[in-house]
Every structure is written in structure tokens, then in C-alpha cells.
């Protein structure tokens, strides 16, 4: 059986490996592989062949609709009328929503540190050792854990 876990790059992975070795698993059955980080920044605009699920236009569409509605309502009172003020509201809402989303995305890329998997730990062990290894890995701040029985993932066996 294989146990696969992901960790952030920290001292906890070294402590986890030491604790697993103390439980009787030899060093030859433990593999720690660091992951390379993406060097180029993410693209803001999606193409027809690549989309990352981040939409810049969802907030812009909502604000454009709200501002268009307000412009059309208050356009009956204002000089240019509801159609012109509705168009002005829609365009200004679209631009405002678009620029707010760009600022949020840029600050997120530049700013706060998100949790990222940086090291993959693969352990070959026996079935009866699973609970002990799982507890050790969770206690040492693993980001995620899975196990594979005889080369078959549990996800593949559920269907």
C-alpha cells in the first residue's frame, strides 16, 4: 500500500519523516519530492483553449445591471431621460466592476500567502500501519492524505 501526502515546505515534514521512521518504516520506503513553483504569472484573460475559472466579468455584469437599472429609474427625473442614463449607468457599472475585480486579482497575486502544496511525501507500508501513519501525518500539518491499495486508487474502485 502507498500513502501519499502533501505538505508545505516547513520543519514539520522533517519531523513527520522522523516519526514515521521511529514507527519502523525504513528510509528506503519513504520518498519526499519537492514541487517546482510556477515561474510565469497567471494570465488575467481566458481564451477559448484555456480557462482557469476566474471570471473578470461576473462582478462587472452585476454592477452594470444595477447601475443601468438605477440610471433608467432616475432618468425619468434627470434631463437626458431614462435611455441615456440607463446606458451611462450600464457602462459605468461595467467599468467599475471590471476595475474592482482586476485590483482584487492583482492584490491576491501580490499579497497574502495562500496554502500551497510544495512537497509530496510517498510512503510504502503495510495495511496495518495505515492508521498510525495517517495520525502522524495529520499531526504534522499535512495538507492532504490519500492511500493507494496495490496500485489502485480508492477513487477508481468506487465506480
Helix (H) or strand (E) segment spanning residue 122: strand 119-124
* CA separation for the pair 49, 137 (Å, rounded): 38
Q: Does domain 2-34+118-157 have CATH number 1.20.1070?
A: no
Helix (H, G, I), strand (E, B) or coil at 149: strand
Give pLDDT, residue 49.
63
Q: Please state which of the ranges 41-55, 69-83, 105-119, 128-142 shows the lowest mean pLDDT.
A: 41-55
Name the pTM for this structure. 0.56
* Nine-digit cell string for 65: 445591471
Q: How confident is the model at residue 114 (pLDDT cuts 50, 70, 90)?
A: low
E strand or H helix at 93: helix 82-110
Instruction: Give the mean pLDDT of 103-115.
Output: 67
Is the model more confident about 4 or about 105? 4
Average pLDDT over residues 6-17: 88
In the chain, which segments carry CATH 3.30.70? Answer: 2-34+118-157
If you average pLDDT over residues 113-133, what whole number do you get? 83
Instruction: Round the average pLDDT of the chain to a whole number and report it.
Output: 82
pLDDT for position 4 = 92
Amino acid at each position: 500500500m502507498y500513502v501519499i501526502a502533501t505538505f508545505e515546505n516547513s520543519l514539520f515534514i522533517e519531523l513527520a519523516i522522523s516519526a514515521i521512521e521511529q514507527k519502523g518504516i525504513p528510509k528506503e520506503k519513504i520518498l519526499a519530492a519537492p514541487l517546482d513553483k510556477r515561474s510565469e504569472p497567471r494570465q488575467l484573460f481566458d481564451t477559448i483553449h484555456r480557462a482557469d475559472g476566474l471570471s473578470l466579468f461576473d462582478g462587472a455584469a452585476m454592477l452594470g445591471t444595477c447601475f443601468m437599472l438605477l440610471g433608467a429609474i432616475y432618468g425619468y427625473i434627470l434631463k437626458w431621460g431614462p435611455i441615456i442614463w440607463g446606458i451611462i449607468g450600464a457602462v459605468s457599472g461595467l467599468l467599475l466592476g471590471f476595475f474592482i475585480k482586476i485590483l482584487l486579482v492583482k492584490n491576491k497575486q501580490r499579497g497574502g500567502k495562500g496554502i500551497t502544496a510544495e512537497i509530496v511525501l510517498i510512503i510504502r507500508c503495510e495495511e496495518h500501519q495505515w492508521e498510525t501513519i495517517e495520525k502522524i501525518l495529520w499531526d504534522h500539518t499535512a495538507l492532504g492524505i490519500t492511500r493507494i491499495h496495490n496500485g489502485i486508487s480508492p477513487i477508481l474502485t468506487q465506480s
